Structure 1
Amino acid sequence: MKHRPFFLVAACVAVGGLAWWLSQPLRGPALPAYEITARPLVQTVVATGRVVAVSRAQVGSPVTAVVRERRVREGDVVRPGDVLAVLRADDLEASLREAQAALAELQQSTRPQAEAGLREAEARLAQASREAARRRDLYQRQMITREAMEQAAQAETIARTTADQARLAVRALVPGNPVEAAARARVESARAQLAKTTIRAEVAGTVLTRNAEPGDLVQPGRILFEIARAGDTEILVPVDEKNLGVLALGQEAACAADAYPRQPFPATVSFIAPAVDPQRGTVDVRLAVRPAPAFLRQDMTVSVNVQTGARARAIAVPNDALDFAADGQAQVWLVKDGRAERRRVQLGLRGLVETEVTAGLQAGDRVLAEAPATLEQGDRVRPLTAVLPADPATRRELPVRLD
């Protein structure tokens, strides 16, 4: 009899345990569930892009020649006017010398000869005029024949014509005359052609590529150097066209180079392409980086997280709790009074791991994280608190994927 209380307690525990065990099927299976709360929500578009210059200058040779010197290499910083390469073109040098010689001959030989010819013609005209006057006087005194007088007059006329022609020749050779202007133009043209053999940078920037070495024969149309213009740095990002509706100019973005994942930097959406690439189904977006980190390099891979919307306080549901009906309407499994209830909801901002619910839920509700396919409306369930997934946007290393 003294052991009777012990057996009574053991029997009660056993009966209670049996009752609890038998009641579990009536309460339904234990399923993970999220408790809905109102909290800040950020909508982002995640993509991968590359660092590009605002523009690139391609430098070529305007003439056919052989490279004599190459004075820059990849990575060199150049300014407008800096010499990139020097070409050898003997024919252009010969053309310049020929044009200079023609101009010198005009100035030092042709013009002095014309002036000397004018002086000689004027002297002969003066002599012929005196002779004609003397013979007219002699003819009036009947000391010579009329024919002799007429011969002197004719000689005077010829001398005057010659002097006029010499005067015109000198006038045509005065400084600045058309002949000299044409000769000077030929010199300048030859000098300009020869200047083309010195390849210079037209813009300030960094040399990206070089395709010229001493001894190479270069021709017009061949790109010798490619220069990234100095100035603002941009990130070119091909974004899935499904995100086009949420993108806008001026949106802020967080970026991280794959080579420096722990050194994020900000950027701003500065350009959205007006057309979609039909083959890739993407739209090109450019992000302005001001100021650009010193470690950025051309064509460097960069992960981008563009913030397209934010709510200071929103009813948010983890994305794995959302389901979609055949008509595309979003829905969740709501746990109410221990039973599963299918609830249709309206969505707002969509984040990487959570989506805003604008209608259909309220703070404090519980929704199943992953409802089994066999779950039916009104089934009993036992919700177990599930841990909310971490938002990749809060990590220091941005996700490297196209969302």
Structure 2
Amino acid sequence: MRRVPSKVYVVIAVVTLLVVYVGWRTWQGPEVQGYVIEPVPLVQTVVGTGRVTTASRAQVGSQITAVVKERLVQEGDTVAPGDLLLVLRAEDIAAEVRQAEAALSELESTRHPQALIALARAESELAQARRETVRRRALAERSQLSAEALERAEEAERLAEAAVESARLTASSLAPGNEEATRLQERLAALRAQLAKTEVRSEVAGTVLTRNVDPGDLAQPGRVLFTIALAGGTEIRVPLDERNLSRLALGQDAMAIADAYPNDPFPARIKFIAPSIDPQSGTVEVRLAVEPVPEFVRQDMTVSVTIETGRRERALAVPNDALRSVQGDEAELLLLRDGRVRRQAVTLGLRGLAMSEVVNGLREGDRVVADTAEDLTEGARVRFTARQAPVSSDRDDAASRNELPVNFD
């Protein structure tokens, strides 16, 4: 009997092992990748880009039309209430003020005293006329004076009384607080007010942001000459996608980074959320208070902000590529139990670009399928290969979409 070579047995054994291995692998099902669920610290943030501004700004202009004589401030200067910003040419107004002052001075020092002297003289003449009338009346009663002479004396007395009344009215009108004095004082006050308008002063404390005038320019009412950022209220205004509105709240902390100083982040806090949505852009304006304000911060500086909207010290988080049929806070996962695929409904908590918290439906150590696009039927056997859970998306990329990255501590 012919002997079978040992090599044949080896080949048969290898083929048998291959068949068994392929059959075992086929029984196990296709290989899928997924994640092992473990508790992790989780921070949910909203990222956006905005600009530094003040709580309010003052626009300074001229109340009169005049040529600019001198400008005393420029951009970046700090001003206080009452500081002189601009001087306008005012030679004609100043001349009118001097004329009005001279007229009032003449009234007080010359015309009114002269009127009082005239009144005193008229009163003296009236007294003399009355005495003359009395004397002549006595003579006429004794028939020592004609009736015509008495009538002349009485007429002189009446004229003297009229002169006194006229002098009294003149003196009264020229007295301080009376008609002519009041008129001159009002005219002088109006001219001085007009002259004061040739000195443009700051009404607020702050920093000059813009100046739109130089000596020789014509200043006119309605033209903005300076813009002043009011002191004591620096904030960041950020338009955020309205989808983020439910996650935003007053008092939430944020970290801001100026594009010009990327290595110097500074804290901020939400102080205002607009009550309405911009229908053109679909965004809601959020204002963040900055306190203290870093020295390098400038008005209208571009700033990226990361607002912390939620935090979990230990959260069961699943990568978003494992979620299926997401409807609001409800979703579905493919779990692996005893080597078979099982559909599992879950409730989501904090959500973001890379990871989402599962608050109900998962346990620590559960294995979930990563690629939800893969066609797997309920109960199918699969072979599981663990995949590294993703980290948060690139910060700048997230900022450009105003979406919600979730970052690990």
Normalised to the residue count of structure 1, the TM-score between the two structures is 0.91
1:274-327 CA-to-partner distances (Å, cap 9, x unmatched) read 111000001101011111111111111111111122223322111121122689
Instruction: Give the Cα separation in 1 of the matches to 2:70 and 2:265.
Output: 42
1:148 match = 149
1:170 match = 171
Q: Counterparts of 1:386-401 in structure 2 under 5 Å?
A: 386-391=387-392, 400-401=399-400
Consecutive unaligned residues of structure 1, counting only runs of 5 or more, are none
AA matched with 1:311: R
AA matched with 2:170: A
Change in CA separation of 1:10 and 1:203 when aligned onto 2, cut-off 3 Å: farther
1:365 match = 366
Are the equivalent residues in 2 in contact too, given 1:305–1:398 (CA < 8 A)? no
2:239 match = 238
Are the equivalent residues in 2 in contact too, given 1:43–1:352 (CA < 8 A)? no
Shift of 1:328: 8.8
87-96 or 72-81, larger mean C-alpha shift: 87-96
2:406 match = none
Instruction: Give the Cα separation in 2 of the matches to 1:178 and 1:5.
Output: 141
2:180 match = 179
Are the equivalent residues in 1 in contact too, given 2:34–2:370 (CA < 8 A)? yes
Q: Counterparts of 1:43-54 in structure 2 under 5 Å?
A: 43-54=44-55
Are the equivalent residues in 1 in contact too, given 2:347–2:360 (CA < 8 A)? yes
Shift of 1:376: 2.9
Instruction: Give the Cα separation in 2 of the matches to 1:53 and 1:328.
Output: 38
The total of aligned residue pairs comes to 398
2:313 match = 312
1:208 is the counterpart of 2:199: no
Instruction: Give the Cα separation in 1 of the matches to 2:7 and 2:75.
Output: 91
Change in CA separation of 1:370 and 1:95 when aligned onto 2, cut-off 3 Å: farther
131-140 or 63-72, larger mean C-alpha shift: 131-140
Instruction: Give the Cα separation in 1 of the matches to 2:108 and 2:326.
Output: 95
Instruction: Give the Cα separation in 1 of the matches to 2:372 and 2:342.
Output: 11
Shift of 1:10: 8.4
Are the equivalent residues in 2 in contact too, given 1:322–1:332 (CA < 8 A)? yes
Instruction: Give the Cα separation in 2 of the matches to 1:293 and 1:67.
Output: 36
Shift of 1:172: 2.7
Consecutive unaligned residues of structure 2, counting only runs of 5 or more, are 404-409
180-189 or 55-64, larger mean C-alpha shift: 180-189
1:42 match = 43
Are the equivalent residues in 1 in contact too, given 2:330–2:348 (CA < 8 A)? no
84-93 or 69-78, larger mean C-alpha shift: 84-93
Shift of 1:138: 2.2
2:407 match = none
Are the equivalent residues in 2 in contact too, given 1:304–1:398 (CA < 8 A)? no
Instruction: Give the Cα separation in 1 of the matches to 2:177 and 2:393.
Output: 77
2:77 match = 76
Are the equivalent residues in 2 in contact too, given 1:41–1:351 (CA < 8 A)? no
Q: Counterparts of 1:4-403 in structure 2 under 5 Å?
A: 15-16=16-17, 19-324=20-325, 329-391=330-392, 400-401=399-400, 402-403=402-403
Identity of aligned residues (%): 52
1:134-154 CA-to-partner distances (Å, cap 9, x unmatched) read 212322332211221121122
Shift of 1:342: 2.5
Are the equivalent residues in 1 in contact too, given 2:324–2:372 (CA < 8 A)? no
Instruction: Give the Cα separation in 2 of the matches to 1:314 and 1:326.
Output: 21
